[in-house]
């Protein structure tokens, strides 16, 4: 099948590459000329494990193409995916200008029937708006389908190729058949394609992300209680997570969720609720708690240094919002860096993949290290913001030798309390005893 993907970011590039891998002829379109130039030259523009291999293969086999020209990109496409940004607008609701702008552009250039698929995360009612915008100038028949994406950065290829489920919102049997054919290779193990009305499909994505954000936040609240009551959140997590009704995943306490999805999607759902006069109070709490949680270790650090961080050098391990990605959107590390800089501290950071992206945002306000040990050299404390596996079992002798003070502020609970005690570190983590 010939398909087009409009927007070639984290979702668009994975979508396009994976559908090329299942034998389709794919053209990815983006307005970012330098991005398209790199992709055309065979240079991948994001770090996503495993994506480079199938990207190379499908370019070589001439199934994966890139262009900045929308009309050229959609020529002959039976399915046109919209994988465009939906950032928060000023009032917190999802800004639809990219999605609706492209919809408007599509109308006059559609040459034949096509299914326009909304893959971006969009509020309920957007499919109708997209349909209306296209219809203004369309000369041919078309369908608009809502097909939210559930991939997780870091494991996006696996998630895309073997999704737990595919959600498709449409009432058109013609579009349904095409979508079924396209997705069939990805659900051979028997995972479902769930067909539903488009409004329910749109809401499903917000419900899923908000539920997950709530689960993380609930556990962070329990962690905060653990600290006050002398309990250990790791023990509580295991005790709770082994209940199959609750499940073991998404229960790790830490310095809050970040990323390009959870913060904006929770905010957008809260805004949608407000627009229909519904008091979605749990979501307001989730946002408030997460906001506090992100920089929770800074006051502790200040206290440790006698109330003043000015002139202190803090090493930060991890900048990405989570491991196995170079995405730094809403990364808790950045919030902590801001507070440290405001308090007059000097920051030396290391991340295996995200440093280039951080340089683009905050430049030389902080120092970047070649490896984790370089970052701790002559630092007064180590702060851990992202749970990259490489930080899990470091050479603690080296860390002790390089740090001016043997103190770790661990926002991701990477180390056991026993180990920290044995090694003689002062160790602050989340929802557990402080080790002095």
Residues near ligand NAD (CB under 6 A): 6-12, 29-32, 35, 83-86, 98, 101-102, 120-121, 149, 151, 153, 260-261
Give whichever of 43 and 238 is closer to ligand NAD, judged by the CB atom: 43
Least distance in angstroms from the C-beta of 294 to ligand NAD: 19
Residues 327, 98, 73, 2: what is their CA dihedral angle, to the nearest 10 degrees?
Answer: 80
Give whichever of 12 and 352 is closer to ligand NAD, judged by the CB atom: 12
DSSP-assigned states of every residue in 310-344: TT-EEEEE--SSSTT----TT-HHHHHHHHHHHTT
Give whichever of 156 and 379 is closer to ligand NAD, judged by the CB atom: 156
Least distance in angstroms from the C-beta of 180 to ligand NAD: 21
Q: Which residues are catalytic?
A: 261
The annotation places the binding site for substrate at 150-153, 205, 250-254, 258, 322
Q: Which long-range contacts (CB under 8 A, 24 or more apart) does 8-11 make?
A: 8/32, 8/35, 8/36, 8/39, 8/45, 8/66, 8/83, 9/46, 9/83, 9/85, 10/46, 10/48, 10/153, 10/156, 10/260, 10/327, 11/83, 11/119, 11/120, 11/149, 11/151
Site of tokens 């109070």: 281
Least distance in angstroms from the C-beta of 336 to ligand NAD: 22
Burial class, 136, CB count within 10 angstroms (exposed 0-12 / middle 13-18 / buried 19+): exposed
262-297 exposure pattern, b = at least 16 Cβ within 10 A, e = fewer = bbbbbbbbbbbbbeeeeebeebeebeebbeebbbbb
The annotation places the binding site at 30, 35, 86, 121, 150-153, 205, 250-254, 258, 264, 322, 329
Give whichever of 84 and 430 is closer to ligand NAD, judged by the CB atom: 84
Least distance in angstroms from the C-beta of 225 to ligand NAD: 31
Query: Residue 294 gets which letter from DSSP?
Result: H
Give whichever of 251 and 261 is closer to ligand NAD, judged by the CB atom: 261
| Residue number of the CB atom closest to ligand NAD | 9
Give whichever of 29 and 114 is closer to ligand NAD, judged by the CB atom: 29
Least distance in angstroms from the C-beta of 217 to ligand NAD: 19
Least distance in angstroms from the C-beta of 87 to ligand NAD: 8
The annotation places the binding site for NAD(+) at 30, 35, 86, 121, 153, 264, 329
Helices and strands: H and E segment counts in the chain: 18, 14
User: How far, in Å, CA of 216 to CA of 151, rounded?
Assistant: 18
H or E element, residue 208: helix 198-229
């Amino acid at each position: 099948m010939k398909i087009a993907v409009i927007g070639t970011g984290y979702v668009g590039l994975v979508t396009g590459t994976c559908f090329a891998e299942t034998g389709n002829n794919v053209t990815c379109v983006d307005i970012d000329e330098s991005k398209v130039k790199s992709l055309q030259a065979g240079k991948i523009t994001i770090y996503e494990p495993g994506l480079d291999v199938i990207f190379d293969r499908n370019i070589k086999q001439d199934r994966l193409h890139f262009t900045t020209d929308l009309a050229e990109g959609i020529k002959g496409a039976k399915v046109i995916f919209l994988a465009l940004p939906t950032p928060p607008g000023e009032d917190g609701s999802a800004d639809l200008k990219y999605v609706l702008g492209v919809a408007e552009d599509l109308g006059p250039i559609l040459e034949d029937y096509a299914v326009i698929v909304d893959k971006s995360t969009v509020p309920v009612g957007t499919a109708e708006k997209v349909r209306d915008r296209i219809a203004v100038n369309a000369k041919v028949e078309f369908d608009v389908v809502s097909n939210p994406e559930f991939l997780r950065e870091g494991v996006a290829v696996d998630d895309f190729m073997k999704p737990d489920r595919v959600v498709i919102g449409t009432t058109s049997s013609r579009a349904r058949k095409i979508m079924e054919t396209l997705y069939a290779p990805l659900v051979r193990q028997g995972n479902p394609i769930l067909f539903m009305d488009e409004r329910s499909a749109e809401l499903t994505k917000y419900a899923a992300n908000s539920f997950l954000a709530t689960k993380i936040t609930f556990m962070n609240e329990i962690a905060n209680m653990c600290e006050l009551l002398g309990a250990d959140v790791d023990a509580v997590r295991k005790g709770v997570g082994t209940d199959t009704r609750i499940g073991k995943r998404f229960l790790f306490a830490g310095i809050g969720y970040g990323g390009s999805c959870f913060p904006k999607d929770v905010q957008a759902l809260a805004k949608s609720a407000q627009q229909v006069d519904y008091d979605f109070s749990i979501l307001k709490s989730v946002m408030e708690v997460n906001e506090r949680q992100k920089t929770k270790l800074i006051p502790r650090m200040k206290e440790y240094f006698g109330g003043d961080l000015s002139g202190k050098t803090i090493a930060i391990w991890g900048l990405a919002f989570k491991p196995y990605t170079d995405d730094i959107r809403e990364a808790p590390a950045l919030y902590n860096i801001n507070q440290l800089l405001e308090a007059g501290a000097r920051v030396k950071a290391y991340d295996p993949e995200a440093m280039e992206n951080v340089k683009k945002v905050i430049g030389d306000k902080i120092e970047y290290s070649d490896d984790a040990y370089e970052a701790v050299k002559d630092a007064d404390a180590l702060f851990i913001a992202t749970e990259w596996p490489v930080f899990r079992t470091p050479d603690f002798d080296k860390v002790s030798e390089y740090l001016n003070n043997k103190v770790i502020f661990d926002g991701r609970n990477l180390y056991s309390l026993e180990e920290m005690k044995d090694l003689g570190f002062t160790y602050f983590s989340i929802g557990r005893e402080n080790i002095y």
